[in-house]
Every structure is written in structure tokens, then in C-alpha cells.
Amino acid sequence: MSKFHVSTTVNGDSVEYLCDPRETLLDCLRDKLNLTGAKEGCGTGDCGACSVTVDGRLVCSCLMLGVEAEGKQIETVEGIADGDVLHPLQQKFVEYAALQCGVCTPGILVAAKSLLEKNPDPTEEEARYWLAGNLCRCTGYDKIIRAVMDTAAELREAS
Amino acid sequence: MDYHSPASFAEASALAANASGTTRFLAGGTDVLVQLRSDLVTPDTLIDIKKINGVRDITRNADGGWTLGVAATGAEMSEHPELGRDWPGVVEAMDLIGSTQVQGRATLTGNLCNGSPAADSVPAMVAAGVTVTVTGPAGDREVAVEDIPTGPGRTSLDKGEVVSAVNIPARGENGGDAYQRFIPRTEMDIAVVGVGVNLRLDGDTITEARVSLGAVAPTVLLVEDAAKAIIGTSLDEAALDALAAAAEAACNPIDDKRGTIAFRTEVAGVLAKRVAKIAYARAKGE
């Protein structure tokens, strides 16, 4: 079976990989680019653990093929921190203990960052609906929502 | 699996016409990839239509109607500043599908061609009188949305045919549409019953109406008797009761874990009334 050569941009870096057309973007990120932050939870777009943005749009990387990434701008959880300096969302997740096992956390960070870029002042209801596609089986969501809302407030004060 | 990304719908149609085995077209992939990953449908030929010019466009035409490219996503429809003012029911129906992540990829055309009787956007499109342009080996034809699904997972499209555009009519004056569904949760579920209503008023009187039901039959239904029940009325209680009775009479649902036949039938009537009231208020500009 022929493989496809894909040139794309991940977290600002130009990258290339060869992939089988059946491989998802998630497979390519994890197995070819060694970016293992995005997780495969369900593999069917229900859990959000594989969330990334593609050209600024939040998507499940398990529901997109690796070949479709040609020429796109991909952002993953690995691009959120600035070197060793955590992004305010990551800092708040630590402060609020908004994670336990951590499998959902990369997807929730990517999704929450995408929310705050689109809407810097979300209501709690808007935040809960936005994150409805990110399942967490440990926390009960409350700490996650509090961390996101507090980050939003802090970022608004800083700007 | 062969992957193709043609530059035109004519090329996409020719690829599909000449392919052997199972062919799937790829737009948002929120159904195609789930079926691929769970080994339900492994296409021999996958044709990605997103490299075709204009497939993401949402365009208002000179006559006031709209042409949507087949890869325009739910998120792009919701964010559009004018589409939702003309057709709030179509936009709200699409917006009900899946999570934020799914909205970033999912499309009207994919929802239609997946052939699910519970597809949320389809009753709204049927009520709105939406058509799709189908490109095939013999050229283009325009097909009403209600004539595409033929049963669960099946469509009337022939080998080599591909939906190449979604055509939403001009809203015109004094019109309103709405869609609601019943689900046992608040978000991220599949319709147990869905109802789309689109109507037009002259003063307080309904002059035109289309009523569509989802998830209560093998395909989404256009229920002419339900429309007749409210045309010529001001949506008074008697008209609402007649609407509910006509909606219930059209139901031919299944019993499953999400709803019994009796429950789905009753909810179809209840929702038809609620949705008609919303469409009516929108047509009044309320």
C-alpha cells in the first residue's frame, strides 16, 4: 500500500512524515512525531483526550486522517507552555488539583485554551458546554471548571 | 484503502464511478472515520473532497437563497453572522450535533449522507425545503433533501454520484423555522425524536408550512398532514392539537433503549407543538 508524504506545521515547527492513508492524525502525532501528549481514549470522537487545533479550529485528532494535515497549522498540548514556563491554564490546573490520572488533561487544556481565545469571558455554563466533549472520569469536572474560570479571570486582568 | 483528493466534483464522481468495492467520500469524517476505526466500514476507496475549490464557502445568492459548500462545518455555520438570522432552525439543528470538537469538522452533507433517521440537521433541512446538488457521471441534478435517505445508512445516490452543494431557499418575508429534539441528557446524545418546522405568515395566519420528523421512522419524514393541520390557522389550541395528532399518526418508530414506540410517538406530538410555536414566534419577529 502506498504511503503519503505529508508536510505540515506542528506548534510552529515544519514537520514531515510518511503515513498510510488509514492512519489518523493522532497516530501520526504520537507514533511518527513522538508528540504523545494527545491521548487515544475512545478513538471515536467521544472523549476529547486527543483534542488538538487545526488552523485554529478545535478537533479530535482521532477523527482526522494524517494525510488531511497537509499544509495545515496544528497546535497540540506540547505547544502550550513557553519552554519551562507553564501556561496560566496549566498553572491553575496544578493549583486547583484539576486532574487526577491525567489522561484527559492534555485534551482539556487544548480545548480550554481554544475557548479562552474565542471567548475571554465565558460564563460557567458556556465553559461547561464548550468542554462537554472532554470526558474526565476522575475529577467530577468541578475543579476543572473552577481552574478554567479562574484562568479566564486572571488573563482578563492581565490584559 | 486508496486515498484520493480530487480538484473537482467531476473528477470525484469519475473516481467513484470507476472504483470497485466500497467507496466513501470524506468531508468532516465524523462518521466515516468512526466507521473506519471500528471496522464497520473499511472503504476500498476514500475520496477527500476538501481540496475542491469553494467547499468551505457559505454564500448568499442574488435571490436571497444560500449555497453552502459540502465541507462547511457546523462551527462555521453557527459563527456566520447572517445565516442563522435567516434560518435559525437549520443552524440550531446542526449545532446540536456532537461536541465542540465534532462541530469543528461535521457537515450538513455528511449528516445527510450518513443516512441516520436520527440525524439532527436533516428534519430542519427538510422543513426548510433545502435541496442538494448531486454531481454524477451524467452531470448535475438537484434533489430535495427528503429524497436522499432511503433507510438507515442508505441513500438514493447511485454509484459515481456525490453531493456537491447544499442549496437553502431564500428566507423571504414573515417566515420562521425551528428545530428541537428530545434526548435524555442535556448534551452530546442522539435524538429520540426530532422535529423541524418552517412556516410563513400573512398577518397572524399561517400560509405555508413544512413539518419534518426525525428518529420516528426508517427515514426522516416530511409530514404533509401536519403542515395541513396548521396552514390557514393562527396556531390556536385546536390547530396545535391537530398538528400533534398528525405528527403522532406519521410515526413508525422502533423500540430501543433510548425510547419505546409509545414514548417516541407521544413526544413527537409534544415536540411538534413546541417547535411550531417557536417557528411562529420567529416568523412574527418576536
CATH code for the domain in which residue B154 is found: 3.30.465.10
* B188 and B97 part of one domain: no
**Chain B interface, best mutation among A3, A63, A72, by max B CB count within 10 A:** A63
* B161 and B189 part of one domain: no
Nearest-by-Cβ selection for B101 from A1, A45, A67: A45
**A61 near B CB under 8 A:** no
CATH number of the domain located at residue range(s) A4-79 in this protein: 3.10.20.30
Kindly determine whether residue A63 and residue B3, on different chains, have CB atoms separated by under 8 Å.
no
What residues contact residue B120 under an 8 Å CB cut-off, 6+ apart?
Answer: B93, B94, B96, B97, B111, B179, B181, B191, B194, B214
Kindly determine whether residue B34 and residue A45, on different chains, have CB atoms separated by under 8 Å.
yes
- pLDDT under 50: residue ranges of chain A: none
**Chain A interface, best mutation among B31, B96, B100, B185, by max A CB count within 10 A:** B100
Q: What is the pLDDT of residues B87-130, one digit of tens each?
A: 999 999 999 999 999 999 999 999 999 999 999 999 999 999 99
For B35, which residue in chain A has the nearest alpha carbon? A44
B145 and B122 Cβ atoms separated by less than 8 Å: yes
For B4, which residue in chain A has the nearest alpha carbon? A21
Residue B187 confidence (pLDDT):
80
Residue B188 confidence (pLDDT):
84
Residues of chain A with CATH 3.10.20.30: 4-79
Residues of chain A with CATH 1.10.150.120: 88-158
> What does the alpha-carbon distance between residue B6 and residue A63 come to, in Å, rounded to a whole number?
21
Q: What is the pLDDT of residues B133-147, one digit of tens each?
A: 999 999 999 999 999
* B158 and B18 part of one domain: yes
- pLDDT under 50: residue ranges of chain B: none
> Which residues of chain B lie closer than 8 angstroms to A21, CB-CB?
1-3, 46
* B7 and B100 part of one domain: yes
* B160 and B185 part of one domain: no
* B17 and B148 part of one domain: yes
- Helix, strand, coil in percent for chain A, rounding step 5: 40, 20, 40
Residue B61 confidence (pLDDT):
98
In one-letter notation, the amino acid at residue A63 is L
* B89 and B185 part of one domain: no
A56 and B22 Cβ atoms separated by less than 8 Å: no
Kindly determine whether residue A48 and residue B188, on different chains, have CB atoms separated by under 8 Å.
no
Residue A2 confidence (pLDDT):
83
Nearest-by-Cβ selection for A57 from B5, B29, B75: B75
* B10 and B89 part of one domain: yes
Kindly determine whether residue A22 and residue B1, on different chains, have CB atoms separated by under 8 Å.
yes
> Residue B162 belongs to what domain range?
2-116+131-168
Kindly determine whether residue A22 and residue B34, on different chains, have CB atoms separated by under 8 Å.
no
Residue A1 confidence (pLDDT):
60
Residue B186 confidence (pLDDT):
81
> Which residues of chain B lie closer than 8 angstroms to A136, CB-CB?
none
Residue B25 lies in a domain: yes
Residue B37 confidence (pLDDT):
87
* B59 and B189 part of one domain: no
**A26 near B CB under 8 A:** no
- C-alpha count within 13 angstroms, C-beta hemisphere, residue A29: 32
Residue B150 lies in a domain: yes
Residue B107 lies in a domain: yes
Number of folded domains that form chain B:
2
* B193 and B263 part of one domain: yes
Kindly determine whether residue B1 and residue A21, on different chains, have CB atoms separated by under 8 Å.
yes
Residue B190 lies in a domain: yes
Tell whether the torsion through CA atoms of B223, B228, B231 and B236 is positive or negative.
Answer: negative
Residue B77 lies in a domain: yes
Nearest-by-Cβ selection for A58 from B5, B104, B187: B104
Residue B138 exposed, middle or buried by CB count within 10 Å (0-12, 13-18, 19+):
exposed
* B7 and B143 part of one domain: yes
Residue B232 confidence (pLDDT):
98
Q: Which of A57, A148, A136, A86 is nearest to B103 (CA)?
A: A57
Residue B124 lies in a domain: no
**A29 near B CB under 8 A:** no
CATH code for the domain in which residue B256 is found: 3.30.390.50
> Which residues of chain B lie closer than 8 angstroms to A45, CB-CB?
30, 33-34, 98-99, 101-102
Backbone angles phi, psi at A116, to 5 degrees: -70, -25
> Which grid cell is B281?
414566534
Residue B248 lies in a domain: yes
**CATH class entry, domain A88-158:** mainly alpha
Residue B144 lies in a domain: yes
Kindly determine whether residue A132 and residue B73, on different chains, have CB atoms separated by under 8 Å.
no
* B57 and B161 part of one domain: yes
> Which residues of chain B lie closer than 8 angstroms to A54, CB-CB?
104
What residues contact residue B54 under an 8 Å CB cut-off, 6+ apart?
Answer: B69
